Chains A and B, each alone.
Chain A
Amino acid sequence: RKEVEQDPGPFNVPEGATVAFNCTYSNSASQSFFWYRQDCRKEPKLLMSVYSSGNEDGRFTAQLNRASQYISLLIRDSKLSDSATYLCVVNVYNQGGKLIFGQGTELSVKP
C-alpha cells in the first residue's frame, strides 16, 4: 500500500461545478498536511494547509479526518483557471520529517 494515495484522475468538469478530491495516508504518525497545486511543467504552489478543525479559503475547503486517515479538498464554483494537478502532501513525523506526496489528481475544467 502506498504511503499517500489520491483519487485517480483525470476529473473533467464543467465551469461552475463542485468537485471533491480525497487523499488517504497510511502512517498514523503523520502530522502536517497540505494541498498543493501544480501547473504543467512548473513547481508546485501551496494551495492550503489542512488543519484538524478544517479550513476554508474562498471557494476551497480542506478537511482532515484523523480517525479514517484521509484529507479532502472541495472546490466550489470551478473556474477554467482551476485546471491543474492537485497534490496532497503528508509529513511523517516519526520518519525524521519525511514529506511524502500523493501521485496527484488532474482537474480539467471545461467551458
Chain B
Amino acid sequence: DGGITQSPKYLFRKEGQNVTLSCEQNLNHDAMYWYRQDPGQGLRLIYYSQIVNDFQKGDIAEGYSVSREKKESFPLTVTSAQKNPTAFYLCASWTGAGNTIYFGEGSWLTVV
C-alpha cells in the first residue's frame, strides 16, 4: 500500500545538536510539506517542495533546513539554531487540487 513513512517516531536531542527527521513517500506525489505542531495549536508550515531540487520556506523556517534530492524523500534537519525545537513534526504529501493530503504518523522531538 502507498503511504508516507516518517522516522523516528520519538527522538530525544541534547541542546546544541542537529537532528534529521526522515520522510519517505511511495505515492508518486510531487508536493511534500513539513509542519510543526505545538500543544493545543494548529499546524505551522516549515518548508514545502513542489518538485525535486526545489523548495520554499514556510512561515517558520528559521532554524530548519530541508533537501529534496529525490521525489520520494524530503528530510528535515532541526538545527541548533532552532531555539525551541520540542514539538510534534508532521510530514505531508499531495498530488494537487481536489485530492487527499496524506500525512505521516508524525515525529515527537524532545530536547533534553
The minimal Cβ–Cβ distance linking B26 to chain A, given in whole angstroms, is 17
Q: Give B26-85 interface residues, CB cut-off 8 Å to A.
A: 31, 33, 35, 41-45, 48, 50, 56, 58
**Interface of B: prevailing SS:** strand
The answer to whether B48 and A100 have CB atoms under 8 Å apart is no
The minimal Cβ–Cβ distance linking B24 to chain A, given in whole angstroms, is 15
Say which size band chain B's interface belongs to. Answer: 20 to 34
Nearest opposing residue in chain A for B55, CB measure: A96
The minimal Cβ–Cβ distance linking A9 to chain B, given in whole angstroms, is 10
| Chain A residues within 8 Å of B50, by CB | 96-97
Chain B residues packing against A (C-beta within 8 Å)? 31, 33, 35, 41-45, 48, 50, 56, 58, 88, 90, 92, 94, 96-98, 100-101, 103-106
